[in-house]
Amino acid sequence: MKKRSSLKKMMATAILAALAYVLNTAVVFPAMAPFQHFVNVLAVYLLGPWYGMVAALICGSLRMLSGRTIMAITGGIIGPLLAGYLYRKTKNVYLLAIGEMVGSGILGALLSYPFMVTFYGMKAGNWAQLIPFFLPSAAVGSLLGLLTILLTKKNGLIDRMKAKINS
């Protein structure tokens, strides 16, 4: 039974990563990827922090292979971990969304800074200079994810999906 549950989680992770990649490719916002954060929130709610981080890593890797910078990875992987930690401790979907915003919007920006300076020749300056680029994207995507969870909770859809994946 446990093997089957792991397989379902891996399949859901791949589907969510693909969804994030397609949405971020099809709906373009200049220097923003709000759908990554949207999917991160859904992935953490449905699968937990580690699978959420893996979905973000897969999508970020695909985005990087198609011409984006390493920020596609570094900006997306901390959010699911922080969001997942907060959600596991509190079972509060609002804190899940805030964790994604802070994790990706602030911590992800700070993590991206040394990579951008070292590998992409960004002029060294203030460590926090990427936060204004990351935080709006993380906020929009996290709020979309939260809204999706809240709306689909009303009819039980997302909780049925969660139960099916985790059974």
- The pLDDT of residue 1 is above 70: no
Average pLDDT over residues 137-160: 96
- The pLDDT of residue 135 is above 80: yes
- The pLDDT of residue 127 is above 90: no
In this structure, of 3-12, 40-49, 154-163, the range with the lowest mean pLDDT score is 3-12
- Pick 130 or 11 by higher pLDDT: 11
In the chain, what are the domain boundaries?
A: 2-165
2-165: CATH number: 1.10.1760.20
Beta pairing partners, 72: none
Average pLDDT over residues 38-58: 97
Average pLDDT over residues 95-121: 92
50-107 residue pLDDT tens:
999 999 999 999 988 988 778 888 888 999 999 999 999 999 999 999 999 999 999 9
Give the Cα-Cα-Cα angle 140, 141, 147 (nearest 5 degrees): 90
pLDDT for the residue numbered 111 = 93
pLDDT for the residue numbered 101 = 97
- The full DSSP string for 90-119 is H--HHHHHHHHHHIIIIIHHHHHHHHHHHH
- When computed from its CA atoms, the radius of gyration of the chain, rounded to whole angstroms, is 15
3-36 residue pLDDT tens:
877 899 999 999 999 999 999 888 767 667 899 9
Residue count (the chain): 167
